[in-house]
């Protein structure tokens, strides 16, 4: 008897948590149904197939990430890098979760095209946000390399269960600006 939006949102939230731990194949319709308290047929009602669900998942993730980053105005290059890095540290230490797009990106060969397109857009968006701060005649590490380092450090930090790996990476990268 719940509103459509509420159930759909709850499904996406459950899917995101599972996907950020185990990837695209790491959650099933039944898993999500159990998480939300409905049956798997109801999940299919909201998301006809898994590819659609995952694409919506990444859209939602992108929107939230950009909101969390906020406006890049009145922000030095170093502050921008630190703000971005803080999001990665938060994912790791507060939520104990991977970056959704890093995990899906690593699996991209095995994902539906529309999902890959959304993930690709995520990276473009992150880099675009940084570049809008860096400006046209920027020197030092590019936005792409900054994002790459943070994503990779998150993978290593989580695998080794050592948050300091990511923190050190963030520190070293920011120090260059």
| Footprint on this chain of a second copy (rule: CB under 8 A) | 21-23, 25-26, 98, 101-103, 105-110, 116, 119-120, 123-124, 141-142, 144-145, 147-153, 155-156, 158-160, 165, 168-169, 172-173, 176
113 near DNA, rule: CB under 7 A: no
Taking Cα atoms as reference points, which of 58, 57, 60, 28 lies closest to residue 44?
28
Q: Which does 132 bind (CB under 5 to 8 A by kind): DNA, a second copy, none?
A: none
Task: Specify the residue, 48 or 128, whose C-beta has the smaller distance to DNA.
Answer: 48
Distances (CA, A) of 143 to 60, 63, 76, 133: 23, 19, 14, 10
Q: Is 163 helix (H, G, I), strand (E, B) or coil?
A: helix
User: Which of 17, 23, 38, 72 is close enough to bind DNA by CB under 7 A?
Assistant: 38
Is 30 near DNA (CB under 7 A)?
A: yes
Residue 63, number of CB atoms within 10 A of its CB: 11
């Amino acid at each position: 008897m719940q509103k459509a939006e509420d159930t759909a949102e709850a499904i996406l939230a459950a899917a995101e948590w599972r996907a950020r731990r185990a990837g695209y194949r790491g959650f099933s319709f039944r898993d999500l149904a159990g998480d939300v308290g409905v049956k798997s047929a109801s999940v299919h009602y909201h998301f006809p197939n898994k590819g659609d669900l995952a694409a919506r998942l990444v859209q939602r993730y992108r929107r939230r990430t950009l909101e969390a980053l906020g406006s890049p105005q009145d922000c030095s290059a170093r502050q921008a890098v630190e703000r971005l890095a803080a999001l990665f540290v938060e994912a790791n230490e507060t939520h104990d979760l991977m970056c959704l797009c890093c995990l899906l990106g690593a699996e991209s060969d095995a994902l539906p095209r529309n999902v890959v397109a959304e993930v690709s857009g995520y990276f473009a968006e992150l880099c675009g946000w940084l570049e809008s701060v860096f400006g046209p005649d920027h020197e030092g590490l590019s936005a792409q390399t900054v994002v790459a380092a943070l994503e990779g450090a998150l993978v290593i930090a989580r695998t080794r269960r050592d948050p300091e790996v990511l923190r050190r990476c963030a520190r070293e990268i920011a120090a260059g600006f």
